[in-house]
Each structure stands twice: as structure tokens, then as C-alpha cells.
Amino acid sequence: MARVAVVTGGTAGIGLATAQLFAARGWTVAVIARDETRLRQAEKLLAQYGRPVLAISADVANAAAVEAAAARIEAELGPIRAWVNNAMSTVVSPADQITPEEYRRVTETTYLSQVYGTLAALRHMKPRNRGAIIQVSSGLGIRAAPLQAAYCGAKFAVSGFTDALRCELIHDRVDVSLSVVYLPAVNTPQFGWSRTRTGHGQNAPDPVFDPRLCAEAILHAVESPQREVWVGRTSLMMAAAQALAPGLADRKAAAMWDAQLEEAEKPDRAGNLFEPVPGEAAIDGRFSTRTRTTRQEFWTSRDRDLLLTGVAGAAILGFAGMVALASSPRRLLGRR
């Protein structure tokens, strides 16, 4: 039986890299996005791998459209084994200059789209007691940054929703995995599509990573379910800083204001917040000369747990040794 994977926002950047990797590994792939031109281009690219492909035009902020897409995928391709919630949008702007309508739209496309995708996938996976759902998040969903208030708020919400739902699945003994993949700055076309209100274009601060690394981490979470995955050293460092020294992390993040903006002044742009913008179905953005090409730099919550277990074990052994020495003073003093 075919393994069917669904990728939202699957016509560019991380979404397209992930859909391509699924297809290259023998999966049947469905992509959901808005722009018809990019959908047809992505469909043609993915079909080269010899597996069926389905490209569906839908706004993932529309719950009914997502449900209809899931039903169509099940009917035309077969049972969905993996669902990757990747679609997003942002407004690069000081928080007090973002309008209520913009906050609402970023929340719909970046948070509620993942809720709708998850629920649509679960309605098909839960009766079969099988499947994997991946929430594509960001280091900014752990450690917020200036100029990204709407996006950070939406990504933080994704983690809360996912943790709550995971507890329910454990309670109900449902064998559907839920994973959150936290990403660093990645070389995708999105940096040229986002809505801006700073008088500058959006820049990807160093280090910048390859979208294909993100795809590898996502597929790994499908095939070897993990609670969380951190891609790139910066995501791991952001998580550690937020956990250990959040006040210091605030000051470090404040210093990243200028790094997120291009030096040259540019007119503000409407971007793809409410409507798709023209562009090719491309994986890479304009930062290729600064992109790290590694495909292996990601860590999982299982790696973290093993590390913590080792540290705790070493601490316990050390403490036990101290107690043993303290209870045998003659061994310390020796014989004179």
C-alpha cells in the first residue's frame, strides 16, 4: 500500500524541499497551497520521481477547505500516513504598528492552519490508530525576537496546542505521533514574500541553513517519531538560553533588531499575507552564498533525554561516592 504524505505550503522553500524528499524516498505526495502556477510547477517536479502526486489549491486558514482537501487526498491517493503542517506568514514590523487584521491573519495562517491540518489528519488517522503529524515551527516559537510579534505569538500557540493534544492521545492510547520541528534561519523565498513595515527588506541573520536539512529533520520525525526536533545550532541555543537565562536572552534578542533587516532602505511591501505573490516553485532563496549545506545538523528530544540521563547518572554516582568516602574516614587518612 502506498505511503501518502501531505505537505501544506508545499510549493516553495521548506515545504517543497520536504515534498521532494518524500517523493524521492518513494512516498506518494499531496501538496496544499494557494498559488495555482506554483502548484502546477511543484506537481511537475514531484511527478519526476514516478509516484502519484496531487496538488490542491486551498487556503489553509479555511478549516472547511482543509477538511475537503484531506477527504480528496484519501479518496484519490489512499490513507494519509504523514501530515506536515508547514504553511505560515508573517509581518516584519514593530508590534505596535501591526494592525488587528494583520495579527488575526498571521494567527490564522501560522497557528490555526496547523490546528485545522492536525484535526483533519486526525479524523482519518485516529480510526486506523496510525500516522504521524509534524508541526513545522521555529526557534522563534521558543525564544521570541523583535519585529516578529505576530509570528512568534502564533508559533508559541502551536506548541501549547500540540502538547495538550499529545496528552489526550496518550490518555486515549491513540498511536498517532505528534512532533514539533523547530527551525533556524533558512534560505527560502519567504524572505522576499513577507509583509514588511520597517523601511527595509527582511534579512536572514547568520547562520543560514539549507531547506533540505529541514526536510531531512521532518522526514526523520515521521519515520522515527520524536516529540521535538531542533534544527541548526541556533535553534538549540535559543532553547537553552530561554530555559536557563531568559532575561539575558531578552537582551541578546533585542540586539538582533538590525540583523533582521537589509541595510539598504526599501519601500514597505504588502507581501503574501492575504494573497499569494508571483514567483517560481523554488526551494532556495537569495542567501545561497551564506547557506550552510550540512544535512545532518539536527537534534531530537530523545538525544536531550539521553544526555540528561547521563548527566543525572554521573551526578548520582558522584554523590554516592562522596557519601561512601565520608562514611569511611580511615580510608582517607590512611595509617601512619
CB-based contact 208:287 (threshold 8 Å): yes
3-state secondary structure the chain: CCCEEEEECCCCHHHHHHHHHHHHCCCEEEEEECCHHHHHHHHHHHHCCCCCEEEEECCCCCHHHHHHHHHHHHHHCCCEEEEEECCCCCEECCHHHCCHHHHHHHHHHHHHHHHHHHHHHHHHHHHHCCCEEEEEEEHHHCCCCCCCHHHHHHHHHHHHHHHHHHHHHHHCCCCCEEEEEEECCECCHHHHCCEECCCEEECCCCCEECHHHHHHHHHHHHHCCCCEEEEHHHHHHHHHHHHHCHHHHHHHHHCCCHHHEEEEECCCCCCCCCCCCCCCCCCCCCCHHHEECCCCCEEEHHHHHHHHHHHHHHHHHHHHHHHHHHCCHHHHHCCC
pLDDT band for position 272 (cuts 50, 70, 90): very high
How far apart CA 247 and CA 325 sit, in angstroms, is: 40
pLDDT band for position 180 (cuts 50, 70, 90): very high
pLDDT band for position 91 (cuts 50, 70, 90): very high
Tens digits of residue pLDDT in 15-59: 999 999 999 999 999 999 999 999 999 999 999 999 999 999 999
Model pTM score: 0.90
CB-based contact 108:159 (threshold 8 Å): no
pLDDT band for position 73 (cuts 50, 70, 90): very high
Q: 189 forms bridges with which residues in the sheet? A: none
- Tell me: pLDDT of 330 over 80: no
- Tell me: pLDDT of 306 over 60: no
Q: Output 320 or 103, whichever has higher pLDDT.
A: 103
**pLDDT for position 65:** 98
pLDDT band for position 293 (cuts 50, 70, 90): confident
Enumerate the active-site residues. 137, 151, 155
